[in-house]
């Protein structure tokens, strides 16, 4: 399992939102694999299991989180809120620039 950087970010976000629905073992495996960037071999050694078992543990955890996201859409809504916040911050920044420009023009008059 070698997710792209974008996939990894999406899975980290899923973990942030849905970690409480995972088993303790899945939660720890996904934390180490996704947040600490541990390889499956490192994960298997730490968990005292085979690489294949570590892979299955990660896969089942990811599937569980993806199923929850399909049902609830929390990450999707958070991403939409992030986009709206960025849009609003850009608008505030432009308005601040206009105010500064207007105030500078008044001082120069």
Q: Residue 4: helix, strand or coil by DSSP?
A: coil
Q: Are 35 and 73 in contact (CB under 8 A)?
A: no
Considering the domain architecture, whether residues 53 and 94 belong to the same structural domain is answered as no
pLDDT at 102: 81
pLDDT at 1: 45
Average pLDDT of the residues of the chain: 91
- Domain containing residue 88: 76-109
Residues contacting 8, CB < 8 A, separation 6+: 34
Considering the domain architecture, whether residues 22 and 35 belong to the same structural domain is answered as yes
Total count of domains within the chain: 2
Continuous segment of H or E residues that includes residue 29: helix 24-30
All residue ranges of the chain with pLDDT < 70 are 1-3, 104-109
| pLDDT tens digits, one per residue of 16-44 | 999 999 999 999 999 999 999 999 999 99
Q: Judging by beta carbons within 10 Å of its beta carbon (0-12, 13-18, 19+), is residue 24 exposed, middle or buried? A: exposed
Considering the domain architecture, whether residues 65 and 21 belong to the same structural domain is answered as yes
Considering the domain architecture, whether residues 60 and 45 belong to the same structural domain is answered as yes
| Total-model pTM | 0.75
CA 37 and chain centroid, separation: 14
Q: Residue 70: helix, strand or coil by DSSP?
A: helix
């Amino acid at each position: 399992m070698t997710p792209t950087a974008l996939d990894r970010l999406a899975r980290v976000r899923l973990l942030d939102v849905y970690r409480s629905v995972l088993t303790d073992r899945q939660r720890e495996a996904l934390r180490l694999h996704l947040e600490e960037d541990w390889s499956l071999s490192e994960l298997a050694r730490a968990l005292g299991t085979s690489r294949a078992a570590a892979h299955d543990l990660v896969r089942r955890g990811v599937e569980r989180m993806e199923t929850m996201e399909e049902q609830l859409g929390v990450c999707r809504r958070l991403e939409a809120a992030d986009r709206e916040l960025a849009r609003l911050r850009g608008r505030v920044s432009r308005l601040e620039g206009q105010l500064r420009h207007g105030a500078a023009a008044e001082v120069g008059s």
